[in-house]
Homo-oligomer: A and B are copies of this chain.
Amino acid sequence: MCGMKAAGYAQVMSSEVTSKKAWEQVVDWVEQRVLSGELVVGSTLPAERDLALRVGVSRPAVREAVRTLQASGVLRSSVGAGGSGGTTVTGVPHQALTKLLRMHVALASFPATDVTQVRVVLERLSTSLATQRADSEQLAGMRAQVELMDDDGLSIEEFNGHDTQFHVAIAEAAGNRLATDLTVAIRESMRDPILEGLYALDDWKRVRGLLRTEHHAVLSAIEGRRADEAADLVEEHIRAAFARMSWLHDR
């Protein structure tokens, strides 16, 4: 396709009111086609060299644009010829969301108290939905994590890992993709601060016992299909866990 040969780029666009940078033009090109439905998940973009010609920019500009959209979980690049290779449209916001939140929690763009507050309402929602929708397999997955946490031989990291997986299992059982991705992202973004907080505790074993009790209580309410109780217990659990790490509050 395309018999034209493209005479070359216009390096200096004098008197061009288009203050848009070259790579932004490419981002717009893609975004426009995604928003209009012309590009859907699974679509393959033109090769970088072709796209550069079409938009009228250089290949580095195209690549910078691809990075931008890749960082949002919209594109995915892989080398090689044929159907496999090329830059394709994905729809995987999970990773992007997690990285974004983690950085902004570290930069304190999102204070820990604000994040926790949002986490409470999200997990209330997830827990309530999961209580209504979870099938036996999903319930078994939750129970497995809770029971793994009863092992006294676990390190703090391992314990916290199962803790996270329990909450993620609830979110996934809820069947709300945005709530699930946000819950995972928030949890992951707070992982390092939480671990620091746990290590700083002088009575880890007592806290560990409290966490176990709370998790068992939440699980029981879910298994008993008591949605409101489960949501209340989750909220209480999250708030209590946050309160135990007092030094986190002013972050």
**Interface size of A as a range:** 35 or more
Asked if A84 is at the interface of the complex by the 8 Å CB criterion, the answer is no
Q: What's the least CB distance linking A15 to chain B, in Å?
A: 19
**Number of this chain's copies in the complex:** 2
Asked if B121 and A73 sit within 8 Å, CB to CB, the answer is: no
Contacting B at CB under 8 A, from A134-152, are none
Asked if A131 is at the interface of the complex by the 8 Å CB criterion, the answer is no
Cβ contact of A177, chosen from B109, B181, B192, cutoff 8 A: B109
Q: CB-CB < 8 A to A67: which residues of B? A: 23, 64-65, 67-68, 71
Q: CB-CB < 8 A to A114: which residues of B? A: 176-179
Q: CB-CB < 8 A to A70: which residues of B? A: 68
Cβ-closest chain B residue relative to A106: B35
Known contacts A60-B60, A67-B23, A67-B67; A74/B118 CB under 8 A: no
Asked if A92 and B118 sit within 8 Å, CB to CB, the answer is: no
Which of A49-57, A95-103, A155-163, A217-225 binds B?
A95-103
Asked if A110 is at the interface of the complex by the 8 Å CB criterion, the answer is yes
Q: CB-CB < 8 A to A91: which residues of B? A: 104, 107-109
Asked if A34 is at the interface of the complex by the 8 Å CB criterion, the answer is yes
Q: CB-CB < 8 A to A93: which residues of B? A: 100, 104, 109-110
Asked if A107 and B177 sit within 8 Å, CB to CB, the answer is: no
CA distance A192 to B111 in the complex (A): 31
Asked if B122 and A118 sit within 8 Å, CB to CB, the answer is: yes
CA distance A63 to B62 in the complex (A): 12
Asked if A124 is at the interface of the complex by the 8 Å CB criterion, the answer is yes
The interface of chain A, by Cβ under 8 A from chain B, is 23, 31, 34-35, 37, 40-41, 60, 63-65, 67-74, 89, 91-93, 96-97, 99-100, 102-104, 106-111, 114-115, 117-118, 121-122, 124-125, 176-179, 181-182, 192
Q: List 21 A-B contacts (CB under 8 A).
A: A23-B67, A34-B103, A35-B106, A41-B107, A60-B60, A63-B64, A64-B67, A65-B67, A68-B68, A68-B70, A72-B99, A72-B100, A72-B103, A73-B100, A91-B107, A91-B108, A111-B177, A117-B178, A118-B176, A121-B121, A121-B122
